[in-house]
Amino acid sequence: MTKSDIHILFILLLLMIPSWVFAGEIHVAPEGPVHTLREALRIAHDGDHIFLGTGTYREGTITVTKSVWISGEGHPVLDGEHKYEILQIKADHVIVAGITFINTGMSYVQDNAAIKVFHAHDVTIRNNHLRNNFFGIYLAKTEHSVVSGNEIIANGTRETSSGNGIHLWDCRDITVENNRTVGNRDGIYFEFVKKGMIRNNVSSKNIRYGLHFMYSDSCSYINNRFVDNGAGVAVMFTHRVDMENNYFGHNRGANAYGLLLKEIYDSKILRNVFDENSTGLYAESSNRLNVKYNDFTQNGWAVKIMASSQGGVFRHNNFTDNTFDVTTNSFQNTNTFEENYWSAYQGYDLNRNGFGDIPYRPVRLFAVVVSQQPTSLILLRSLFVQVLDVAEKVFPVLTPETLIDSKPLMKPYHDTTGAVGQIVRYTAGTEGY
C-alpha cells in the first residue's frame, strides 16, 4: 500500500467518525465574547454544546439549523417581548434543556410558540420553564423525540386568546413525560399522532381540556393526573388508545367530564380513578371499549353511555357514592356490565360466593328524568324520587331492562396491582397536581 493509499484511507476513516467525537463547547454570557445565542449558533458545528449563561436574552426569533445541544446554566431567560416566537428548531439531533422561555407574541393567525420543532427527528426538550407564552412546546411533523420534565404555566382566561401547553401535530413516536401544564387552553394536545406515549404528567386548571386527542391512533397515556380542568379530558376519532392508571378529578361544570370519548374504537380504560367530576366517563359512538379495574367515586354521573356506543365491557369496576352510577339515552343496551361493585346495591349473598344473589340495575328512573329535564335535579333528595326509584326496580318500564349487572360484587374489587380501591384525594393548592 502506497503512502497515497494510506492517506486516502485515513481521510475515509475520519469521515466515518460521528461528529460528536469532535464536539466543542461554546459559552454564552451577556458580557462575554459570545454574548448572544444567535451568534453561538452561527459559529457552532454539528455536535457542539452551547452553554447559555445566567441572564436575560432578547433576540427575537432564533432558528436552530444545526445538531447542537443548548443547555442553560441557572435557567437563563429567553424573552419573546410579547412579539416573537422564541426558538425554532429545524434540525435533527437537537437538545434544549434548562432554559426559561417567557412572553411569546400572541397571534390569531400564527401559532407562536416558545419552542417550535419542524420536520425533525431525535429532538429532546427537557427541564425547561415556560411562562406566559401563547403556545408552549409545539411539534409539527416530528418523529422519535422526547418532551420531558418541563413546567409550562400560562395565564390564559379565554380559549380564543390562549394556546396549548404541549401541542403535537402530525407526529410519530413521541414521548411526553413528567411535565406540568397549568393555565393553558389545552394542557396537552395530540392531532394526527401515531404511537405517542404520555406518562407521568400533571395537567391542571387548563381552560378547556387537560388532554385533547384527535385522530391519534395507537397511543397510550399512563400515570397522569388531570385535575380541575374546564372540561376534563377528550379523546376523539381515534382507534386503539390505552388509558391506564390516570387520575381524573374535580373537572366540574355543565359540560365537564373526567373523560369524554367520541368515536373511539378498540381501546382500553384500565385502573383509572374518576373522582368528583360532574360526569366521570362519557361515551358516544365509541365501540368495543374495555373498561376494567376503575374507581368511580363521588361523581355526579359516574358513566354516561349513549346508545351509539356498543360492544363495551365494564367489569371489576368500583362505583362508590356517585349521585347516579350509570345513565343512557336508550331502552336497548349492547354493553356488558358484570362483576362490578356498587355501593348503592342493597342485595344479599346467601351462598357467600362474593356476588349478590339478585341483579343490580344501575340506571335509576330519576337519572332518566334528569337527563330530559335537568331542573328536576332539585328533587333529588325528596321522598317522591325514592318512591319512583323503588317502583321502577319492581316494574322496570322506562329504564333499559338489559342494562343490568347480573353478578354485582358485595365488596369493592381490589386489583392485584393495588391501583384500584386506593384513591389519592386531590387537595387544592397541593404541589404535584
Q: How confident is the model at residue 428 (pLDDT cuts 50, 70, 90)?
A: very low
Say which residue the cell 334528569 belongs to: 370
Specify whether the CB–CB gap between 143 and 171 falls below 8 A. Answer: yes
Assigned domain for 383 exists: yes
Cell of residue 131, nine digits: 411562562
The structure's pTM equals: 0.86
**DSSP letter assigned to residue 87:** E
Q: What is the pLDDT of residues 143-202, one digit of tens each?
A: 999 999 999 999 877 877 789 999 999 999 999 999 999 999 999 999 999 999 999 999
Indicate whether 349 pLDDT > 70.
yes
Residue range(s) defining the domain that contains residue 215: 22-394
pLDDT above 50 for 22: no
In a domain, 214, yes or no: yes
- Split at pLDDT 50, 70, 90, the class of 252 is confident
Closest CA to 202 of 165, 175, 256, 168: 165
Q: What pLDDT is recorded for position 2?
A: 66
What pLDDT is recorded for position 1?
63
In a domain, 80, yes or no: yes
pLDDT of residue 331: 72
CA distance 110 to 192: 19
Instruction: Determine, yes or no, domain membership for 433.
Output: no
Q: What CATH number should be reported for the domain holding residue 106?
A: 2.160.20
Give 67's contacts (C-beta < 8 A, 6+ positions apart).
19, 46, 47, 91, 92, 93, 94
CB 96 within 8 A of CB 70: yes
pLDDT higher than threshold 70 for residue 65: yes
Q: Which residues contact 220 (CB under 8 A, 6 or more apart)?
A: 196, 197, 198, 199, 241, 242, 243, 244
Helix (H) or strand (E) holding 8: helix 3-16
Report if residue 419 sits inside a domain. Answer: no
- Per-residue model confidence (pLDDT) at position 432: 45
User: Cα separation of 59 and 36, whole Å?
Assistant: 8
The total of structural domains in the chain comes to 1
238 or 1: whose pLDDT is higher?
A: 238
Report the candidate in 9, 83, 99 with the shortest Cα–Cα distance to residue 51.
Answer: 99
User: Is 14 domain-assigned?
Assistant: no
Instruction: Classify 360 as helix, strand or coil.
Output: strand
Exposed, middle or buried, 258 (CB in 10 Å: 0-12/13-18/19+)? Answer: buried
197 is a domain residue: yes
* Orientation of helix 383-394 relative to helix 365-372, angle to 10°: 120
pLDDT computed for residue 423 by the predictor: 43
d(CA 111, CA 135): 7
Q: Over the stretch 73-102, which tens digit does the pLDDT of each residue have?
A: 999 999 999 999 999 999 999 999 999 999
Q: Phi and psi for 69 in degrees, rounded to 5?
A: -110, 120
> CB under 8 Å to 30, separation ≥6 — which residues?
53, 55, 56, 57
In a domain, 4, yes or no: no
